[in-house]
Structure 1
Amino acid sequence: MSEALYAQVHETLRARIVGGGLAVGDRLPTQAELVEEFSVSAITIKRALDMLRDEGFVTRRPRIGTIVVSTTPAGGAPSAPADRLPLVGYIVPGFDDAFGSHLLGGILAASSERAHVVVAMSRGSSELEERLIEEQLDGGIDGLVLLPTSSQSIPQSVATLVGRGFPIVIVDRTLTGVPVSTVTSDNVTGGQLAAEYLFDLGHTRIALVQSPNAVSTLDERRRGVVAAHAAHQVRLEESQVYSGVRSVVPGSEVTPEDDVDGLAAFLEAHPDLTGCVVTEYHSARLVLQAAHRLGRTVPDDLSVICFDAPPEYVDAAVPLTHVEQDQHAIGARAFELVERQLAERGDVSQDTVPVRILAGGSTAPAPRSARS
């Protein structure tokens, strides 16, 4: 099992004192020097030094520094730490009933009586995400499950942890070129299934609606939609793609009303579109509002299919046809991969979880006038 970073620093410094590398009266390196030596945060160093002080090895003197006062712990040799369950961190931009809650449920179910889990939300901020990772490491986590805010750049903390062989698993994202374990849905197949579902209903003019969120998930779903068009020898024109749904992006200041305005303008400019693949559930809700504003009935005038949906009672009027991700399985598998790395450092696995279509009330055969 891996140790918390502060515990590793503490053990190294303690060994230097007990082994004679630092004698009584010697001064330890400064906090800044220890931060550089161990490549950890100042908080981590402080916690390690506090442990040495509490054990009676050192004293900390203002303007002088940390001085060795004993080469044996106060009260004799310390007892061995009691056996404990590992502590696993989980950091996520946010979650709700559409996506995230069931993934967390999968992690908690799989970790029951096997580990403790501490959860934190980054709210879509990469800066907060980095700080939360550091705080959880300082808090003594043994492994980390992370749903990154972005896929465009590799968080520095993630690259550092991977380099050290620290147990870490990325969920719902693909980080290209990083030897790190990942668990994602089969998003490419999901996008293809969604578009195929509309093609099978006779739709040939299909829109793709998504947010501008910089994550691999959306890119993969778009690839699937493009593949379905290619299979039917139909070109997906750029004019059929709307990527301006911004209110669903964590941290965005754009209002849902602004997005409904933009979607209504898009649909009004393209009256020939009879089907719509939406890459996120909350965006699909906005599409329904935009269609209603234009007097276009769902599903008779416009069929809508999306990814994910909470229980049907939330959308009692129009239960959405959607691509269902097995979020519980993603969460459970993520914990299992962390646990596997705790037993064997450096174990890397990229897992893909299948998806399926769940029919709802938001899709119907294309209007006769629109069928080719």
Structure 2
Amino acid sequence: MSTPLYKSIYNDLKEKIINNYYKLDEKLPPDSELTKIYSVSPITIKKAMDLLKEDNLISRKPRKGTTVINNTIEINQTQSPGSKLPLIGFIITNFDDIFGTDILRNLLIYSQDKAEILLKISMGDPKLESRLLDELVSLGVEGIILLPASSEFISPKLLELVSKNFPLVLLDRQMEELPTCSVGINNSEAAQSLVEHLFEKGHEKIGIVTAIPKVSTIQDRIDGAISAHIKNHRIIKQNQILSSLKSMVPSTDSTEKDDIEKIKLFLRSSNDLTAIFTGEFTIAILVLKAIRELDNEVSEDFSIVCFDHSKYNMLGDKQFTFTHIVQDQYEIGKQSIDLILRKIKQPDIIEKINAPYYLVPGQSVKKINKK
């Protein structure tokens, strides 16, 4: 059976609100305009709006219009009477179209007949994360899926839950010192594949540019890029590595401009580099801006590779994409639900699952013909 039109419109508007296309306190287009946008009747729009209002995402007032009053999902905060589905907490640092939104969407879809999900967002703040863990336990969740804010700082609450063998699954992070379950990709292996792709294209001198490695994911990617050099008998020096960018790290005073200046200095001091390995898409954007400010171009002067990619054109270039690693976010969401449910039934199991990833060639890598 096909989805009713009003539910399709509801789902579309809800996703736009959650992804900040329509921001907090912003007014949605009038119903009359929405009927034209979606080519439906006013009754269909009203039904969709009623659902958004039930979700406490919007406020509707006569002559004042429809206003966004909430942009977070809190699904099934308590189990409905007679429900037999386990209540699972899910704490994510944040989510966007680059990484997180697809995990969240697919996790919610896949879990519909398996668990009730209560979502919380830590914004990468370890103290808030600790409070949210405490809050979820007090609400009676049977297990928690957690994308940790940091791999360096382990909150006392997380340590307490691990010591009590509370069902936990870590997402996209490894904490080797803790006996915890986890789901993600093999970041070291994926980083190796990106660097080896550059070697195959004739690049010999490759720079490594990342954020400060506060999470294991970034450190694994740095280690993987270095391992690729060792495995392929290439020399890599310390001046080929810049791992001090901060503008994308939560609760930092560093700005994008600060990081671009760092990258420009790095590129000037390493003038024999022909390619840059970056730990994530946002870093690739900063590197691209720095390259252009130096009156150079991608890929003509510098090739760039990264992890993940925005679905939207953020560069102003037609159909430009970086060569990048795609993480199977559907599989990450699915595996995290399956694993937390197994952990609830078998508290002593410890499983670390690697989801698939794929290298996607883009327009950011130039082939260098060896002389």
Question: TM-score band (shorter)?
Answer: 0.7 to 0.9
Q: Aligned pair in 2 of structure 1 residues 166, 225: CA closer, same or farther (>3 Å)?
A: same
Secondary structure of residue in 2 paired with 1:364: coil
Secondary structure of residue in 2 paired with 1:266: helix
Residues 315-338 of structure 1: CA distance to partner in whole angstroms, max 9, x if unpaired? 562311101111221111111111
Q: Which residue number corresponds to residue 260 of structure 2?
A: 260
Q: Which residue number corresponds to residue 336 of structure 2?
A: 334
Q: Which of 362, 367, 370 is 1:365 aligned to?
A: 367
Question: How far is 1:162 from its partner?
Answer: 2.1
Question: How far is 1:276 from its partner?
Answer: 0.5
Secondary structure of residue in 2 paired with 1:305: strand
Question: How far is 1:312 from its partner?
Answer: 5.5
Question: How far is 1:290 from its partner?
Answer: 0.3
Q: Which amino acid aligns with 2:208?
A: L
Q: Which residue number corresponds to residue 20 of structure 2?
A: none
Q: Which has the greater radius of gyration?
A: 1
What's the TM-score once normalised by structure 1's chain length?
0.74
Q: Which amino acid aligns with 2:272?
A: D
Question: How far is 1:163 from its partner?
Answer: 2.3
Residues 256-287 of structure 1: CA distance to partner in whole angstroms, max 9, x if unpaired? 11111111121122221110000011011000
Q: Which residue number corresponds to residue 325 of structure 1?
A: 327
Quick one: distance in 2 between partners of 1:219 and 1:236?
A: 16
Q: Which amino acid aligns with 1:189?
A: E
Question: How far is 1:253 from its partner?
Answer: 2.2
Percent identity at matched positions?
A: 32
Question: How far is 1:314 from its partner?
Answer: 4.0
Question: How far is 1:196 from its partner?
Answer: 0.4
Quick one: distance in 1 between partners of 2:247 and 2:189?
A: 26
User: Which consecutive residues of structure 2, in runs of 5 or more, have no partner in the other structure?
Assistant: 1-80
Quick one: distance in 2 between partners of 1:98 and 1:131?
A: 27
Q: Which residue number corresponds to residue 352 of structure 1?
A: 354
Q: Which amino acid aligns with 1:221?
A: R
Q: Which residue number corresponds to residue 249 of structure 1?
A: 249
Q: Which residue number corresponds to residue 124 of structure 2?
A: 124
For structure 1, which segment, 314-323 or 247-256, has the greater mean C-alpha deviation from structure 2 after superposition?
314-323
Contact residue 275 and residue 302 of structure 2 kept, 8 A: yes
Residue 240 (structure 2) pairs with residue 240 (structure 1): yes
How many pairs align?
289
For structure 1, which segment, 124-133 or 313-322, has the greater mean C-alpha deviation from structure 2 after superposition?
313-322
Contact residue 280 and residue 307 of structure 1 kept, 8 A: yes
- Residues 204-223 of structure 1 aligned to structure 2 (within 5 Å): 204-223=204-223
Larger RCO (CA under 8 A, 6+ residues apart): 1
- Residues 1-372 of structure 1 aligned to structure 2 (within 5 Å): 82-311=82-311, 313-315=313-315, 317=317, 318-366=320-368, 371=370
Q: Which amino acid aligns with 1:219?
A: Q
Contact residue 331 and residue 356 of structure 2 kept, 8 A: no
Secondary structure of residue in 2 paired with 1:260: helix
Contact residue 109 and residue 332 of structure 1 kept, 8 A: no
Quick one: distance in 1 between partners of 2:99 and 2:160?
A: 29
Quick one: distance in 2 between partners of 1:128 and 1:194?
A: 35
User: Which consecutive residues of structure 1, in runs of 5 or more, have no partner in the other structure?
Assistant: 1-80
Q: Which amino acid aligns with 1:360?
A: G
Secondary structure of residue in 1 paired with 2:95: coil
Secondary structure of residue in 2 paired with 1:188: helix
Contact residue 154 and residue 175 of structure 1 kept, 8 A: no
Question: How far is 1:201 from its partner?
Answer: 0.6
Secondary structure of residue in 2 paired with 1:98: coil
Quick one: distance in 1 between partners of 2:122 and 2:114?
A: 25
Contact residue 264 and residue 290 of structure 1 kept, 8 A: yes
Q: Which residue number corresponds to residue 63 of structure 1?
A: none
Q: Which amino acid aligns with 1:165?
A: N
